[in-house]
């Protein structure tokens, strides 16, 4: 019939005979006439592979590949070649969720390795088999905190996290009936005194902070965990997992839950997805952890094996009272970062951070040297992302540089009040000195 | 082949590397890393130290312990494990899309936005709904997004009482869970003996607190809800909306459209009906479609086409909110769009052939397995265990024995309507020969259940590992490498 449907007319005849009907149409006789499809779909004729290639090539040409000097939640890090080759193995790619562990040890084992990596990076005791993305992982972390607190229904979110993340949290909270209050910022940092005052008002189940924060600043959270725990709330830290090769872990800060997006671990930008979220916690919270968890066990012959475990948690046994509706994960993308972390290893991930730090600080210093920019938060420590105030009109500058093939940061005025003249720049290990020098040269020469 | 049981951590040797970074002039040594010490981690993360070949061989060996659609027949009910075409992968990996930053200026991503726009148009045509968001990451995420749309619609009209949603007792488990997360109270509607919604029971449940009803059609028994038009009339008259769980959309391609049936909101599992791979549990994609009166409630951001033919990303005040940082699993959308273009108008054959395959397997096996609801099915059907259960062989045993014969097991113990459910969905991409071989093996297993029940009860025997001790795993969770030592 076509290359995806192998049936010959003879096959169809024999099958209909076995069923005992005259035509395939007879199998649809139960559908009321008024809702039977009576027309041809208004779709193009089937395309051959060559036509499809040409079609997408033409669409691809309507995109512009830019040199990326921006982050904002998606970072242009190096992707080792071996990852795609392994991910395209059909045994990984075309498998379903590992419900039959005897023939799914491949998936189960790499999820176990993934969980080991995430716990290693975050310092946490437990994690699940992955989440959709960093934002939904943060939402689930908040749900966990509210469920753990039982009767408390309010969460505090730092103003220094990405405003897009705040709007996602607000969306979920609106429907689930959770109150979200924003902790004000002071000079790009979460205002600890303000948080203490808000905690003192009571009813707080959890507090969400970011590291590095939306401005790229590595905040000092000394004392935060004590404040939060004194109010019997949970501390949730949303972080960049790549940075955790060098930065203090959420566990070391005293956080109870760590979450974030795995994209910086070598997942291509891919216009926003697929990425993968991670969610990790202290062992006291493991039974509140949504999604799937893989555990080690033995088979009847004593062989080491892996299996989905702790399945008897809340969402499975009391589905109408579920705290999460998470069913699947982003398994293949979890494999992506598992292989990435194996290839980069202890030394490589550190080097990625050092090179990103070097590139970003060079870019920062060169831009400031032009006299056209000043740091928004002078002396605040950063890794690969930083905010500058521009004397040039931000939108016009970005538009001009986009035409030259550069994505020159993110306009902070789009998401933050009073920051119309600010740009959030980023440079990773993929940015070369030459690319940075060219960008700076263009900016110096621009006439707007 | 030798059984491989190493973890990546167990082949690690200090000093080995598997990457190459340029010797950048921007590289700095540790000493110049001027981040204050109290912000840095004290001990390094114990990541593996392995060569590239170590990694490639390790994961190749690990993959050999897995069963995918390309390994063999995967009759997993409700999961639509159809073939995942190669061209989809080739297109989705094209460098002119993989390198795009999600926040690039609109002008520079017109090709990507065109794919969003045209995929949404095609899904509208196939379902009879006005518009789609492609942002939700999975079926369950689509359900939740769709329910947010439902609630937002009522809230925008000032109709704040509507906080309850009707869900059939046979529904997919995610339906009530999604409703609960969306702050809705679940009201269960009974099924009739053949598993369809009991319209008399439904009538008694409808009032001005009902936000809507969630339905799957065909339902979880693979049976078309023939009362759907009447149900739509009743729910609409009561001021509620109809939500279509698109998990079972595959047999409807070429047969019947949810929008025409009267549904207002639906989600689609691109990883089922539109042939994108399941990836061992994701990434999937769960686009949500709505009828015209609900378009303004779709989540932000949306892709629209302007009069000059340019595509634009739009935000609306009336949207139900925002459900993801960017615009979903774009790579998965590209695969689904490739599939739609590959079949074009011929996509109309998908539903009929999927239905033919399911009925053929059902009729061929009903002598050996108990068919609790004897009627024409659509894409899938359910047996309630063996016809002859005298030797105590259960559905679980049958499932495990099938693994020995090189098949993935059907979905088991779902739906919950029967004690020994075996749910089979062959999909349209499987040939008559594949089905005939499966039918033979299913007969053989039924015979073995009588002639050698202990052998079936202790299956599988030939898989990489055999039955697992799940109790100890749950009692003493070992979930990371450090827990093993």
CA torsion, points B242, B248, B249, B251, in degrees to nearest 10?
-130
Question: What count of residues does chain A have?
Answer: 448
What does the alpha-carbon distance between residue B194 and residue B367 come to, in Å, rounded to a whole number? 20
Residue-by-residue DSSP string for A63-111: B---EE---TT-------HHHHHHHT-HHHHT---S-SGGGBHHHHHHH
Q: How close A290 comes to chain B (CA, Å)?
A: 12
pLDDT in tens, chain A (448 residues): 789 999 999 999 999 999 999 999 999 999 999 999 999 999 999 999 999 999 999 999 999 999 999 999 999 999 999 999 999 999 999 999 999 999 999 999 999 999 999 999 999 999 999 999 999 999 999 999 999 998 999 999 999 999 999 999 999 999 999 999 999 999 999 999 999 999 999 999 999 999 999 999 999 999 999 999 999 999 999 999 999 999 999 999 999 999 999 999 999 999 999 999 999 999 999 999 999 999 999 999 999 999 999 876 544 545 667 788 888 789 999 999 999 999 999 999 999 999 999 999 999 999 999 999 999 999 999 999 999 999 999 999 999 999 999 999 999 999 999 999 999 999 999 999 999 999 999 999 998 7
Q: How close B121 comes to chain A (CA, Å)?
A: 10
DSSP 8-state class, residue B345: G
Domain count, chain A: 2
Return the percent helix, strand and coil in chain A, to nearest 5.
45, 20, 40
What does the alpha-carbon distance between residue A146 and residue A233 come to, in Å, rounded to a whole number? 9
Closest residue to B261, CB basis, from A35, A295, A410: A35
3-state class (DSSP) for residue B300 = strand
Instruction: Tell me whether B318 touches chain A (CB under 8 Å).
Output: no
Radius of gyration of chain B (CA): 25
Closest residue to A354, CB basis, from B33, B346, B400: B33
Instruction: Tell me whether B256 touches chain A (CB under 8 Å).
Output: yes
Instruction: Say yes or no for a CB contact (<8 Å) between A132 and B137.
Output: yes
Q: Is A134 among the domain residues? A: yes
CB-based contact B484:A318 (threshold 8 Å): no
Q: How close B302 comes to chain A (CA, Å)?
A: 14
Can you tell me the mean pLDDT for B370-385? 96
State whether A85 and A72 are in the same domain.
no
- The candidate with the shortest Cα–Cα distance to B211, out of B191, B238, B172, B230, is B238
B314-324 exposure pattern, b = at least 16 Cβ within 10 A, e = fewer:
eeeeebbbbbb
State whether A363 and A254 are in the same domain.
no
Tell me whether strands A304-309 and A293-298 are parallel, antiparallel or unpaired. antiparallel
**Sign of torsion over alpha carbons A374, A379, A384, A386:** negative
What does the alpha-carbon distance between residue B160 and residue A76 come to, in Å, rounded to a whole number? 45
- For B339-349, the pLDDT digits (tens) are 999 999 999 99
State whether A104 and A155 are in the same domain.
yes
Determine phi and psi for A259, rounding to 5 degrees: -145, 170
Domain extent listing, chain B: 8-63, 88-347, 349-457
Q: Is A48 among the domain residues? A: no
Q: Identify the CATH number of the domain in which residue A413 sits.
A: 3.90.1150.10
Does A110 or B34 have the greater pLDDT score? A110
State whether A259 and A170 are in the same domain.
yes
Instruction: Tell me whether B199 touches chain A (CB under 8 Å).
Output: no
Residue-by-residue DSSP string for A145-172: HHHHHTT--EEEEETTS-HHHHHHHHHH
Instruction: Say yes or no for a CB contact (<8 Å) between A319 and B41.
Output: no
Q: Is A262 among the domain residues? A: yes
Position A386 scores a pLDDT of: 98
List the end-to-end C-alpha distance of chain A, in Å, as a whole number: 60
CB-based contact A4:B342 (threshold 8 Å): yes
State whether A333 and A365 are in the same domain.
no
| Res B390 pLDDT > 80 | yes
Please, which residues bridge with residue A99 across strands? none
Residue A17 neighbours by CB distance under 10 Å? 11
A126-127 β-sheet, strand order: A126-127, A277-281, A257-261, A234-239, A204-211, A154-158, A179-183
Can you tell me the mean pLDDT for B410-420? 92
What does the alpha-carbon distance between residue B27 and residue A347 come to, in Å, rounded to a whole number? 14
**Sign of torsion over alpha carbons B309, B315, B319, B323:** positive
Instruction: Say yes or no for a CB contact (<8 Å) between B24 and A333.
Output: no
Instruction: Tell me whether B151 touches chain A (CB under 8 Å).
Output: yes
Position A311 scores a pLDDT of: 75
- Where does B349-457 sit in CATH, by number? 3.90.1150.10
Q: Is A6 among the domain residues? A: no
B70-101 exposure pattern, b = at least 16 Cβ within 10 A, e = fewer:
bbebbbbbbbbbbbbbebbbebbbbebbbbbb
Q: Is A324 among the domain residues? A: yes
- Specify the DSSP element, H or E, that contains B201: helix B199-205
Q: Sorting pLDDT into bands at 50, 70 and 90, what band is B318?
A: very high
Q: Measured at the alpha carbon of residue B115, what is the angle toward residues B112 and B118, in degrees to the nearest 5? A: 150
Q: Is A57 among the domain residues? A: no
B381-384 β-sheet, strand order: B381-384, B421-424, B411-412
Same fold, B88-347 and B349-457: no
Position A323 scores a pLDDT of: 83
Q: Is A27 among the domain residues? A: no
Best residue of B231, B281, B482 to probe chain A, by most A CBs closer than 10 Å: B281
Tell me whether strands B311-314 and B302-305 are parallel, antiparallel or unpaired. antiparallel
State whether A247 and A394 are in the same domain.
no
What does the alpha-carbon distance between residue B311 and residue B116 come to, in Å, rounded to a whole number? 10
- The candidate with the shortest Cα–Cα distance to B356, out of A96, A1, A35, A44, is A1
Give B 72-131 residues with CB within 8 A of chain A: 74, 76, 79, 81-85, 87, 89-91, 93-105, 107-112, 114-115, 122, 125-126
Within 8 A of A304 by CB-CB distance, chain B residues are 5
- Lowest mean pLDDT of A307-316, B270-279, B426-435, name the range: A307-316
State whether A290 and A152 are in the same domain.
yes
Burial class for B306, CB neighbours closer than 10 Å (0-12, 13-18, 19+): exposed
State whether A435 and A322 are in the same domain.
no
Q: How close A441 comes to chain B (CA, Å)?
A: 18
ipTM of the complex: 0.97
Residue of B nearest to A434 (CA): B25
What does the alpha-carbon distance between residue A186 and residue B396 come to, in Å, rounded to a whole number? 60
- For B173-223, the pLDDT digits (tens) are 889 999 999 999 999 999 888 889 999 999 999 999 999 999 999 999 999
Tokens 């075309």 -> residue: A94
Closest residue to A120, CB basis, from B47, B110, B468: B47
Within 8 A of B25 by CB-CB distance, chain A residues are 433
Position A294 scores a pLDDT of: 96
pTM, rounded to two decimals: 0.97
Instruction: Say yes or no for a CB contact (<8 Å) between B347 and A325.
Output: no
Task: State the SS3 of B353-407.
Answer: HHHHHHHHHHHHHCCCECCCCCCCCCCCEEEECECCCCCCCCHHHHHHHHHHCCC
Instruction: Tell me whether B144 touches chain A (CB under 8 Å).
Output: yes
What does the alpha-carbon distance between residue B325 and residue A166 come to, in Å, rounded to a whole number? 10
State whether A278 and A244 are in the same domain.
yes
CATH 3.40.50.300 fits B88-347, yes or no: no
The domain of A367 spans 67-76+346-445
State whether A358 and A414 are in the same domain.
yes
Q: Identify the CATH number of the domain in which residue A153 sits.
A: 3.40.640.10
Determine phi and psi for B155, rounding to 5 degrees: -65, -40
Position B9 scores a pLDDT of: 97
Instruction: Tell me whether B24 touches chain A (CB under 8 Å).
Output: yes
Within 8 A of A281 by CB-CB distance, chain B residues are none
Instruction: Say yes or no for a CB contact (<8 Å) between B473 and A309.
Output: yes
Q: Is A17 among the domain residues? A: no
| Res B399 pLDDT > 60 | yes
Residue-by-residue DSSP string for A284-334: GGGGG--S-EEEEEEBTT--EEEEEE-TTSHHHH-GGG-S-------HHHH
């Amino acid at each position: 019939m076509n290359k995806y449907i192998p049936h010959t007319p003879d096959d169809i005849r024999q099958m209909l005979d076995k069923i005992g009907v005259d035509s395939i149409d007879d199998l649809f006789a139960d559908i009321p006439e008024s809702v039977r499809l009576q027309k041809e779909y208004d779709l193009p004729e089937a395309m051959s592979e060559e036509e499809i290639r040409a079609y997408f090539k033409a669409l691809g040409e309507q995109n512009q590949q830019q040199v990326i000097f921006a982050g904002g939640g998606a970072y242009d890090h190096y992707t080792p070649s071996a990852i795609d080759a392994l991910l395209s193995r059909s045994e990984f790619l075309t498998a379903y969720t590992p419900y039959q562990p005897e023939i799914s040890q491949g998936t189960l084992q790499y999820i176990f390795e993934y969980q080991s990596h995430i716990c290693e990076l975050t310092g946490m005791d437990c994690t699940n088999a992955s989440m959709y993305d960093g934002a939904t992982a943060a939402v689930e972390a908040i749900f966990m905190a509210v469920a753990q607190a039982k009767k408390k229904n309010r969460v505090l979110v730092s103003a220094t996290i990405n405003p897009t993340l705040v709007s996602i949290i607000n969306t979920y909270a609106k429907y689930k009936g959770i109150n979200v209050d924003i902790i004000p910022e002071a000079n790009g940092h979460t205002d600890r005194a303000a948080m203490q005052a808000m905690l003192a008002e009571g009813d707080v189940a959890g507090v969400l902070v970011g590291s590095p924060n939306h401005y790229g600043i590595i905040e000092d959270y000394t004392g935060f965990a004590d404040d939060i725990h004194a109010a019997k709330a949970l501390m949730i830290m949303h972080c960049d997992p790549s940075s955790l090769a060098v930065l203090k872990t959420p566990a070391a800060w005293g956080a109870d839950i760590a979450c974030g997006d795995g994209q910086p671990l070598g997942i291509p930008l891919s216009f926003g997805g697929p990425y993968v979220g991670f969610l990790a916690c202290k062992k006291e919270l493991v039974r509140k952890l949504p999604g799937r968890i893989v555990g080690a066990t033995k088979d009847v012959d004593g062989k080491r094996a892996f299996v989905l475990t702790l399945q008897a948690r809340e969402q499975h046994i009391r589905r109408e009272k579920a705290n999460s509706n998470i069913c699947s994960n982003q398994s293949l993308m979890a494999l992506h970062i598992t292989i990435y972390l194996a290839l980069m290893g202890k030394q490589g991930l550190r080097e990625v951070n050092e090179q990103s730090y070097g590139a970003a600080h060079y870019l920062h210093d060169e831009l400031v040297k032009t006299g056209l920019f000043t740091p928004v938060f002078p002396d605040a420590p950063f890794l690969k992302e930083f905010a500058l105030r521009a004397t040039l009109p931000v939108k016009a500058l970005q538009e001009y540089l986009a035409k030259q093939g550069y994505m020159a940061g993110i306009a902070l005025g789009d998401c933050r009040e009073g920051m119309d003249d600010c740009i959030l720049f980023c440079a990773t290990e993929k940015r070369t000195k030459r690319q940075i020098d060219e960008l700076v040269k263009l900016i110096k020469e621009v006439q707007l | 082949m030798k059984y491989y049981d190493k973890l990546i951590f167990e082949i690690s040797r200090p000093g080995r590397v598997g990457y190459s970074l340029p010797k950048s002039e921007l590289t700095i040594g540790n000493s110049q890393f001027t981040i204050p010490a109290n912000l840095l981690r004290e001990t390094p993360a114990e990541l593996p130290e392995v060569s590239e070949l170590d990694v490639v061989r390790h994961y190749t060996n690990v993959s050999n312990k897995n069963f995918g659609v390309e390994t063999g027949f995967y009759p997993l009910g409700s999961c639509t494990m159809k073939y995942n075409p190669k061209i989809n992968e080739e297109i989705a990996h094209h460098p002119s899309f993989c390198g795009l930053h999600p926040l690039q200026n609109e002008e520079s991503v017109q090709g990507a936005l065109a794919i969003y726009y045209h995929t949404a148009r095609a899904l509208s045509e196939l379902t009879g709904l006005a518009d789609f968001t492609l942002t939700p990451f999975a079926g369950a995420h689509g359900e939740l997004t769709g329910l947010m749309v439902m609630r937002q619609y009522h809230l925008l009209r000032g109709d704040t009482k509507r906080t309850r949603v009707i869900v059939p007792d046979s529904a997919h488990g995610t339906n009530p869970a999604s409703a609960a997360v969306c702050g809705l109270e679940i009201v269960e509607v009974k099924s009739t003996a053949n598993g369809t919604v009991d319209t008399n029971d439904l009538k008694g449940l409808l009032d001005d607190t009902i936000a809507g009803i969630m339905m799957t059609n065909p339902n979880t028994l693979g049976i078309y809800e023939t009362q759907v038009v009447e149900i739509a009339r009743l729910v609409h008259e009561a001021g509620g909306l109809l939500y279509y769980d698109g998990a079972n959309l595959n047999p409807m391609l070429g047969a019947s459209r949810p929008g025409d049936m009267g549904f207002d909101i639906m989600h689609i599992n691109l990883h089922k009906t539109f042939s994108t791979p399941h990836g061992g549990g994701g990434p999937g994609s769960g686009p949500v479609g709505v009828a015209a009166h609900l378009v303004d409630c779709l989540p932000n951001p949306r892709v629209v086409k302007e009069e000059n033919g340019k595509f634009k990303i739009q935000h609306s005040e009336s949207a139900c909110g925002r459900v993801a940082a960017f615009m979903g699993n774009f790579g998965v959308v590209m695969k689904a769009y490739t599939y739609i273009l590959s079949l074009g108008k011929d996509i109309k054959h998908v539903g009929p052939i999927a239905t033919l395959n399911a009925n053929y397997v059902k009729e061929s096996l009903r002598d050996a397995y108990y068919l609790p609801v004897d009627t024409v099915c659509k894409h899938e059907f359910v047996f309630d265990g063996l016809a002859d259960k005298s030797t105590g062989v259960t559905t679980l045993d049958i499932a495990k024995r099938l693994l020995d014969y090189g098949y993935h097991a059907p979905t088991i113990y779902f739906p919950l309507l029967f004690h020994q459910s075996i749910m089979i969905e062959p999909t349209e991409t499987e040939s008559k020969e594949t089905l005939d071989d499966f039918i033979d093996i299913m007969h053989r297993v039924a015979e073995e259940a009588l002639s050698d029940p202990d052998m079936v009860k202790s299956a599988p025997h030939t898989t990489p590992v055999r039955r697992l001790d799940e109790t100890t795993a749950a009692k003493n969770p070992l979930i990371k490498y450090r827990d093993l030592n």
